[in-house]
Amino acid sequence: MLCGRVHESKMLDALLEGAREGVSGALVVRGEPGIGKTALLGHADGSGAHVLRTTGIEAEAELPFSALHMLLRSVLGSLERIPDRQAAALRGAFGLGESGTGDRFLIGLAVLSLLSELAENGPVVCLIDDAQWLDHASAEALLIAARRLGAEGVVMVFAARPGFEAKGLPVLELSGLDEAAAVELLDSAGRTLPAGFRQRILAEAAGNPLALIELPKSHGPADELSLTVRLEEAFAAQADGLPTSAQVMLQVAAADSTGEPGVVLAAAGGLGSTPEDLERVLAAGLVVLGEGKRLEFRHPLVRAAVRQRTPLARQLTVHHALSQALDRTADADRSAWHLAVATLAPDEQVAARLEAAAARAHSRSGYAAAAAAYERAAALSPEVADRARRLTLAAEATEFSGRFDRARDLAEGAGNPDTELTSRLIRVRACSDYGEGLLTGAHAMLSAGVDHLRAADPRSAAWLLLDAASMIWFDGDRDMAWRTAEQLDALQVPPGDEVVPVHRLSRWFIAMALGRPADGLPPLAEVVESARALAKADRRGLLLIGGLGLAEYDARTHMLASAATATIRAEGMVGLLPQALTFLSRVEYARGRHAEARGLASEAVAIADDTSQPAWARQAAGLLDQYAAVRGEALDPATAHPGALALLDLGQGRSEQALLSLESLVYGRSRNRIQAMHHVPDLVEAALRSGRIARAVEPFARLEAWAAMLDQRWADALVARCRALLDGSGDPGAHFRAALAAHERPFDRARTELLYGEWLRRARHTGEAQEQLRAALEVFERLGAEPWAERARTELGATGWSAPRRTGADRFVRLTPQERQIVQLAATGLSNRDIAAHLFLSPRTVGQHLYKAFPKLGVTARGQLADLTLDE
């Protein structure tokens, strides 16, 4: 047991014991330098499991997947055991094959799959030290894998300094040892210290284990320096005792990131050092030979101390020597970086080499590394045009990695380049603003881009306007809508151009948002049909699918969204998946497949979080709020979507509260969102139930005009239902029947049947009321819409009909969204491995979900799943 770390050791032991039982886990051990993080990793290293280790190295922070390669290099022979696309992505990341899609999420999933396969032979433990210095690509992949651990028997432990963020993972904060443990550790060295010096060490160390071990070796006077600096100085004092040529060897080792003795010897040899100097450095204990006989510093602070004490001129010569040594190997990227560090003045040859390294990093999904290389190449560019081009590439790579604030800074620093670069920079700034929730700024940037491109490149301007229009569909306000409408009207797209349907569809939707005629436009149905041909599995195609989903019949949009999602999954374009899943979820909900919709939205949120896409995470989370409201589940008023809160209130009989929320949507900033019109039928019902029917008149007039433009049966049905509720003649039955004849969406139809049944009961048409109410109850129970089902039961009770609770569908309702997805795929005959690849899980986790789902479904064997009907 580690000195003074009983609780911490037990936490690690519990994780390791869970892995032996097939339960995975992850932990971040966080604390200041020297606090004992590495020692805890050493405790886990002695578990008897298959241990994989890697260490973040500050000098390697710009080299994509360097730390991940160090972790997995000994097990790459097992890549043939994971799905082909994932294996190809991992090989591409390590430069062992073609670059593939470059999707960083897919690489994280490949790590998960590989670890899961290794765990088939027993628990696997991954130990990641100095995680704060991991290259960004490795950190992303490892954290994606860690967040998706389930039933594999894998443990991942990250040791890091304060500031390392690992969203979704548990954190163990390490503090100093207590007084008794500190005394025990200090005395364990068997060193006799003067009483006064001993007390000073205990006071200065403040329980830091490394300080208790190293400070007694330094007898310098106490000062006001931080403990970290004191430790660095203690290590530096040990290095100062070496001969000059050995110090040069140490300086080269500190600047090198490969740890390869041959590279260090070659570079240091050019500066006058010899192999004997490497022996002296090893004998001093500052550097040791680690796994694979790589050179490793005894502690990261040793490396830091050496680099701090190396004069600038020597640093430059060391990096130049390393560049030359690596130039003779296959490590072109490291060579380019060392040469760039050694170059202070602009130099096109050096900049070009670094740009080539950036392109390789980008192709391997090392977007942060690519951005850093492009940015440094820009700084070394003698020509203004080359500098602007490389900064644009840096901004695009940074935006793609989800670092929106930095992407914006890079784009703004690129100056005023030519037209083509300017449009790209505008898009980076707009996407960065939208990614951070700065909708107004994003829309303004797109508008500026349209003005810039309108004459020179109307096709690109039309696509930018689709971006602008989509923001208004989902988030925008009236001022944005008018600005986009003006630009759409002014844009002249050549007749017959491929982008004409995009331009027309955007004009149609902006017209509907503003409630104005779409003068001069073909019928919406014709525009929708021509736009469908452009709805491909790419970013622009997905925007079209999202727009079409607001307009056309659900089954047709479902075909588009399903096909696009399947293609994106199959080709590993995971960065596009949250958007595709969000649109498909919305369509599934409209079709009455609420459980499917919920599963898709849940997956969209998880992947959007993992791929740094907060805007799509918010969109999908809003859908989850809506689905929860239908089921009567509690929502957080501080974070839930107002429309979902209103639907929950309406379902549970809080009509006045629902009315207030709905009015804020229909009259407020979001009144021009097309989605706002979907809330008007709720507002009409809330106004009726709260006795404030007059407050529904104006919103209903807008709904009528909007539905007339849309010309879709599902919208006509909602209008007819509202007419029935607002009918003052006392005979709304005809409107109810018209609504039922037009309804295509099950939940909407059931709500109309409920309202019609209530009216029929009050009109004493008991038999007809029971017919409508029973039909509504059946749908509500099947969808798990309990508040609405309870309303239907109450109404049926008032007619004299006793409505027992339906239990036949309960077994499906009890499934979690992920269990439902897995059961449906298993019912088609897919293996656990195939399902895992489809849903980005490990095969063992799939098996665990099936194990939990079987009792809920009342089945005992996989073959019985094919006989179940989960379609709603």
Quick check: 219 pLDDT over 70?
Answer: no
* Predicted local confidence at residue 870, as pLDDT: 55
The rounded distance, in Å, linking the Cα atoms of 201 and 189 is 14
By the 8 A CB rule, do 801 and 776 touch? no
523-570 pLDDT, tens per residue?
A: 888 888 888 888 888 777 887 888 777 666 678 889 989 999 988 887
Contact (Cβ atoms closer than 8 angstroms) between residue 352 and residue 339 = no
Token pair, residue 314, equals 């020597």
The lowest-confidence range among 317-326, 375-384, 414-423 is 414-423
CB-CB contact of 493 with 458 (8 Å): yes
Which of 305, 310, 369 shows the shortest CA–CA distance to 334?
369
pLDDT at 553: 66
Strands 25-30 and 171-173: parallel
Span(s) in the chain for CATH 1.25.40:
712-806
User: What count of Cα atoms within 13 Å lies in the side-chain half-sphere of residue 572?
Assistant: 22
Backbone angles phi, psi at 158, to 5 degrees: -105, 125
Beta bridge mates, 25: 155
**pLDDT for 378:** 95
Distance CA 266, CA 270 (A): 7
pLDDT digits (tens, 9 = 90+) for 608-651: 888 778 888 988 999 999 999 999 999 999 999 889 999 999 99
Q: Which residues of 642-656 are buried (b: 16+ CB within 10 A; e: fewer)?
A: bbbbbbbbbbbebbe
Q: What is the pLDDT of residue 605?
A: 93
Q: What is the pLDDT, as a whole number, of residue 774?
A: 96
Q: Where in the chain is the domain with CATH 3.40.50.300?
A: 6-173
Better-scored residue on pLDDT, 282 or 137: 282
Domain topology for 812-867: Arc Repressor Mutant, subunit A (1.10.10)
Dihedral, 8, 11, 12, 16 alpha carbons, nearest 10:
160
pLDDT (average), residues 504-530? 84
594 touches 783 (CB < 8 A): yes
pLDDT digits (tens, 9 = 90+) for 39-89: 899 888 877 889 999 988 887 777 778 899 989 999 999 999 988 888 888
Q: Report CA dihedral (360, 364, 370, 373) to the nearest 10 degrees.
A: -40
> Considering the chain, what percentage of its residues have pLDDT values greater than 70?
93
CA gap 61, 758 in Å, rounded: 66
What's residue 98's pLDDT?
64
Q: What is the CATH number of domain 712-806?
A: 1.25.40
Q: Which residue is listed with tokens 């014991």?
A: 17
Q: Which class does domain 6-173 fall in? A: alpha beta
Instruction: Please list the residue range(s) of the chain that carry CATH number 1.10.10.10.
Output: 812-867
Q: What angle do CA 737, 738, 739 make, to 5 degrees?
A: 90
Tokens of residue 156, six digits: 């991942």
Residue with tokens 């089902």: 789
Residue 144 CA to residue 608 CA, distance in Å, equals 11
Q: What is the DSSP secondary-structure string of 521-560? A: PPPHHHHHHHHHTT--SSHHHHHHHHHHHTTS-HHHHHHH
Nearest to 157 by CA among 37, 48, 61: 37
* Residue 740 confidence (pLDDT) above 70: yes
pLDDT, one tens digit per residue, over 15-32 is 999 999 999 999 999 999
Q: Please return the burial class of 855, using the count of CB atoms within 10 Å of its CB with bins 0-12, 13-18 and 19+.
A: exposed
Taking each helix axis from N to C end, the angle separating 594-610 and 104-118, rounded to the nearest 10 degrees, works out to: 100
pLDDT at 672: 57
| Chain centroid offset of residue 681 CA | 34
**pLDDT band for position 872 (cuts 50, 70, 90):** very low
Annotate 699-754 with DSSP letters as a single string: HHHHHHHHHHHH--HHHHHHHHHHHHHH--SS-THHHHHHHHHH--SHHHHHHHHH
